[in-house]
Structure 1
Amino acid sequence: MFDSPLSDSAYEVLGVAADVDDEELRRAYRLRLRQTHPDTGGDAAQFVQVQRAWELVGTADARAAYDRGHGFGATASYSPDAPAWRPPTRPADTRPKARSFGQPGGWRRERYLDLMREWAGRGVELADPYEPALVRRAPHEIRRLLADALAEEATARIVSELGMGFTIWHDVAADPRDPDVKLDHIVLSPSGLYAVLSEDFGAPVRTRRGELIGDAVVGAPVAQLVLASRALGRAAKVKFSAAVVVLPDDDVAVVAEELGKVKGLPVVVVARSALAGVLRRGVSGAREIGGNELFDVRTRLQHTVRFV
C-alpha cells in the first residue's frame, strides 16, 4: 500500500495536493474518515487506507520523512556498469546465499529511464528520475515498468536468502526470436525447477480458470509465463516443475493459491511474504529434482541461458 508507483500516494488517498498546509490536511483526513467509515456506508478497505495514509503524513516529523524518503530509487539494485547483481548483505549475516546470475529488474529499469527522459522532454535535466511526485505524474505505461522492476528486485532479495542449495537466474531471454519475451526469474532447487513471474499491478488481483483477472491486469500473464517457460525448456532440453506468480501481499486474498495445471504445467499464485516457503516445500503436482539430475539441469541452463 502506497509503495507501488501504480498506487495512490498518501496525499491522493486523503484527496489533497502534496503541498497543502497542516490544517487543511487534517480537515481532509477527518472528511475522508467520515466518507469511508463502514458504519456510515463507506468501504472498509478505503477506510483502512485513509488511516494508513494519516499515519504516514499526519505529523510534522512523519510527513517530512515521507516527503523526503518515499522515493522509488532507494532500493535500486541495478547498475549498467555492474557485471552481475549481488544481493544486499548485512554485516553480521554470514549464511551462504543462493547462487544468482543476471540483473533482476535491470531490463525494465533501463526502459523506464529511457522513457522517463523522453516523456520529460529533450534538454530537461532530471535530477532524480525516481522522485515520487515525478513518477506519479508519468504515464501509466512508464510507471508500470518501474513497478515491475521493483517487484523483480523484491523477489530477488527473497530468493537470494534461500541458501546454497538454490541457483537463480534473473531477467532471462526466453525466446531468441522475440526480445520482449523473458522470464523474470528461474529458480532451481531440490524441490523443482520453477519459472517465476514478479508482478505489481497496483491493485487487488483475483484468479479465474487458471488466469489472473482484475481491473489492472493486462493480457494473460499466467499463459504468457507458461509459454515462455516452455520455449526456454525446449531450448535447454529441461522440464520446468511449476510456474510461480509473485504478487504484493496486499494484492492477493490467499497467500498461496494453486491454480492446477495450465497447458500441462502446475501454477501457483503466491503472496511475496510466502514465496520462500513455497519454493522450499514445492508445489502440488510438481516433479522434484534431485541427485545427478540437479547438476545436469543446472549445467544445461548455464549453457543455454541468455540475459535480456
Structure 2
Amino acid sequence: MSASPLSASAYEILGVAPSASDDELRRAYRARLRETHPDTGGDDAAFIRVRRAWELIGTIEARAAYDRGAGQESAWRVTPTEAPKTDTRPRARSHGHPGGWRRERYVELVREWAGAGVELPDPYAADVVRSAPDDLRHLLAGALAEEATARTIAHLGIGFTVWHGVAAGDRILDHIVLSPSGLYGIASADFGGEVRFRRGELIGEAVRGETPVAVLLAGMRAAAKAARVRFGGAIVVLPDDALAQPVTPLGAVRGVPVVVVRRSVLGHLLRQGVPGARPIGGNELFDVRTRLQATVRFV
C-alpha cells in the first residue's frame, strides 16, 4: 500500500470503520478475501491490497501502530532535500522550495476544516490526514510529489540547475530544469490512482477533470517569454503505480515534446534527454541559466 495521502486506508480497503471491533474486522477481511480471490473471479490486484490491509491492521499490535501513523505519518512530514553531511558528491544547483506553497496551503486549510477553537497540534497526524477532505489530501500529495522530484534532481550532479515553485504568469511551474540534455518544464503530480491518455492529456477518474499537461505548457510559455528562453521538452512525473509503462510520449505541442514518466525513471530521462529535445551546451547553457536566474520569481 502506498504512503500517499490519497491512498485508501486499510479500513477502507476492508470496508469497515476505524472504530470496528476486532470481530467485525476479521469478518470483513474474510468476506473481502472471498470477493477478490482470483480463483473465484476476483481481481488479483484487489486481492493483494486486501491481504496487505490485513497485515497492517489484523493484529492488536499492528492496528495500534497503524492508527498512530507508523510508516505513513513520517512520510507526510517535511523532509529535507539536501544531501546528508557524509555525502560529498557535487549536487545540482537548486533554487526555491519544492512543494512549499502546497504545504502552506494545506496547513492553512486543514486548520480551517478542523474549526475555530479546535486544537490541531499536528496537521500531519495520521487520523487528521486520513479524515481530511479530498481537496486537502490532494494538496499534500502534490507537495510530496514535488519533494520527491526535487530529491531525484538533486542527485544528478552539478551539471543540472533547478528552480522549484516558479511563478509563471497566472500559473505555478513546479520545476524548471536546465541540463546538458535540454531545458525542461516539469510538473510533479499524484492523483491517487492510475491515469490514461487522450489527445495529449491525462484522463481517468483520479484526474478529476484536471488538465495537467495544458497547465504545465501554459506555465512554460509564460516562463519562456519572461526569460526569453526556449524550452526543449515538457515532463509530467507521476508515481510508478499510476502508469502502465515507464515513459509515455504524448507528442509535440508547438514543437515542444511532452512525455509522462514514472518517478523512478526521471533521473535517467533527464540524463539521456527527452526524445526530440534540443541539447544545450557551452555558452548557450551559461546564457540560459543567467536569463532564468535574473527573471525567475518564486511563489
1:122 to partner: Cα distance: 1.1
**Aligned mates of 2:260, 2:3 — CA distance in 1:** 20
* Match of residue 171 from structure 1: 165
1:61 to partner: Cα distance: 4.3
* Match of residue 123 from structure 2: 129
**Aligned mates of 1:61, 1:93 — CA distance in 2:** 37
TM-score, normalised to structure 1's length?
0.91
Match of 1:147 among 141, 150, 161: 141
Compare 29-38 and 61-70 and name the one that shifted more. 61-70
The one-letter code of the counterpart of 2:187 is L
1:243 to partner: Cα distance: 0.5
1:185 equivalenced with 2:175 (yes/no): yes
The one-letter code of the counterpart of 1:24 is E
1:8 equivalenced with 2:2 (yes/no): no
The one-letter code of the counterpart of 1:8 is A
For residues 93-112 of structure 1, the aligned pairs below 5 Å read: 93-112=87-106
**Aligned mates of 2:86, 2:54 — CA distance in 1:** 35
1:277 equivalenced with 2:268 (yes/no): yes
The 1:227/1:204 distance shift into structure 2, 3 A limit, reads same
The one-letter code of the counterpart of 2:174 is D
Match of 2:190 among 186, 190, 200: 200
Report Cα offsets for 1:235-268 as digits up to 9, x if no partner. 1011111000000111110111111102321011
Report Cα offsets for 1:49-79 as digits up to 9, x if no partner. 112222333344443433332444645337x
Number of residue pairs the alignment of both structures matches: 297
For residues 1-308 of structure 1, the aligned pairs below 5 Å read: 1-68=1-68, 69-72=70-73, 74-77=75-78, 87-175=81-169, 178=170, 181-217=171-207, 218-308=209-299
Report Cα offsets for 1:5-38 as digits up to 9, x if no partner. 2221112111122243444333322221111112
**Aligned mates of 1:140, 1:238 — CA distance in 2:** 37
* Match of residue 82 from structure 1: none
**Aligned mates of 1:21, 1:270 — CA distance in 2:** 42
Q: Secondary structure at the match of 1:216?
A: helix
The one-letter code of the counterpart of 1:278 is L
The question of whether the paired residues in 2 share the 8 Å contact of 1:10 and 1:57 is answered with yes
**Aligned mates of 1:167, 1:2 — CA distance in 2:** 30
Q: Secondary structure at the match of 2:257?
A: strand
Report Cα offsets for 1:163-214 as digits up to 9, x if no partner. 1111111000011xx2xx1110111110011100000111110112211000
The question of whether the paired residues in 1 share the 8 Å contact of 2:73 and 2:124 is answered with yes
**Aligned mates of 2:153, 2:55 — CA distance in 1:** 31
The question of whether the paired residues in 2 share the 8 Å contact of 1:205 and 1:251 is answered with yes
**Aligned mates of 1:7, 1:168 — CA distance in 2:** 29
| RMSD (Å), alpha carbons | 1.8
The question of whether the paired residues in 2 share the 8 Å contact of 1:194 and 1:242 is answered with yes
Q: Secondary structure at the match of 2:128?
A: helix
Compare 109-118 and 21-30 and name the one that shifted more. 21-30
Runs of 5+ consecutive residues of structure 2 not aligned to the other structure: none
The question of whether the paired residues in 1 share the 8 Å contact of 2:3 and 2:75 is answered with no
The 1:257/1:172 distance shift into structure 2, 3 A limit, reads same
1:140 to partner: Cα distance: 1.4
The 1:248/1:285 distance shift into structure 2, 3 A limit, reads same
The question of whether the paired residues in 2 share the 8 Å contact of 1:26 and 1:58 is answered with yes
The one-letter code of the counterpart of 1:30 is R
Compare 65-74 and 196-205 and name the one that shifted more. 65-74
**Aligned mates of 2:228, 2:291 — CA distance in 1:** 7
**Aligned mates of 2:76, 2:127 — CA distance in 1:** 17
1:292 to partner: Cα distance: 1.0
**Aligned mates of 1:48, 1:61 — CA distance in 2:** 21
Q: Secondary structure at the match of 1:183?
A: strand
How many percent identity over aligned positions? 64
The question of whether the paired residues in 2 share the 8 Å contact of 1:268 and 1:283 is answered with yes
